[in-house]
């Protein structure tokens, strides 16, 4: 059996530049190591190469973001959908503090309507839903306990 001989990678400015360019093109560490015949451990352990990968990924992220925003510039509807999806702007929801179960149910109805109209995101709806349901359950349990006590007192 012939053993594969290892070679020590010399870190040069050219190598650092090549690593950064490949990362900027979207290559992951495995693909970079294969393309440049560098051990994966060298890529993950060498500070200069790790920094080159980070710079490349950052440049790629900036390019992709700019491209998406340029594409959306001509389409306001898609802009609104993206803003809502990414929760870039959190709308203020006017929900009053419940004082009884009916208030909690009204809040839930208002939140559902706001979600249907695209005024709040799903996460906000689920939060309001959880608080409202918790309040209603607490109210129902308290009401049930009071009824049981009243029945026990009549015996």
16 pLDDT tier (thresholds 50, 70, 90): very high
Largest CA-CA distance found in the chain, in angstroms, rounded: 94
pTM: 0.47
- Confirm whether 91 is domain-assigned: no
Note whether 21 and 78 are same-domain residues. Answer: yes
> Which of 42, 17, 47, 16 lies closest to 29 in space, CA to CA?
42
The pLDDT of residue 134 is 79
Q: How many domains does the chain have?
A: 2
- Average pLDDT rounded to a whole number, residues 88-101: 66
Note whether 110 and 73 are same-domain residues. Answer: no
Contacts of 84 (CB under 8 A, 6+ apart): 118, 121
- The domain in which residue 45 lies consists of 13-85
Contacts of 105 (CB under 8 A, 6+ apart): 132, 136
Checking if the pLDDT of 60 tops 70, the result is yes
Note whether 18 and 54 are same-domain residues. Answer: yes
d(CA 63, CA 26): 11
Checking if the pLDDT of 23 tops 80, the result is yes
Checking if the pLDDT of 83 tops 70, the result is no
pLDDT per residue over 97-123, tens digit each?
A: 777 778 888 888 888 888 888 777 788
Note whether 139 and 114 are same-domain residues. Answer: yes
- Confirm whether 94 is domain-assigned: no
Which of 40-44, 85-89, 95-99 has the weakest average pLDDT?
A: 85-89
Note whether 73 and 116 are same-domain residues. Answer: no
Note whether 38 and 69 are same-domain residues. Answer: yes
Please give the C-alpha separations between residue 126 and each of 11, 28, 112, in angstroms, as whole numbers. Answer: 52, 36, 9
Note whether 31 and 67 are same-domain residues. Answer: yes
d(CA 26, CA 120): 34
5 pLDDT tier (thresholds 50, 70, 90): low
């Amino acid at each position: 059996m012939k053993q594969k001989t290892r070679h020590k990678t010399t870190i040069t400015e050219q190598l650092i530049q090549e690593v950064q360019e490949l990362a900027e093109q979207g290559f992951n560490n495995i693909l970079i190591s294969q393309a440049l015949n560098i051990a994966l451990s060298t890529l993950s352990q060498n500070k200069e190469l790790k920094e080159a990968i980070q710079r490349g990924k950052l440049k790629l992220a900036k390019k992709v973001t700019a491209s998406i925003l340029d594409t959306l510039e001509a389409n306001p509807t898609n802009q609104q959908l993206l803003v809502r999806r990414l929760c870039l702007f959190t709308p203020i929801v006017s929900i009053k503090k419940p004082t009884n179960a009916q208030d909690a149910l009204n809040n839930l109805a208002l939140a559902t309507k706001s979600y249907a109209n695209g005024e709040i995101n799903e996460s906000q709806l689920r939060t309001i839903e959880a608080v409202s349901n918790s309040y209603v359950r607490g109210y129902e349990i308290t009401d049930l306990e009071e009824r049981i006590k009243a029945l026990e007192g009549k015996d």
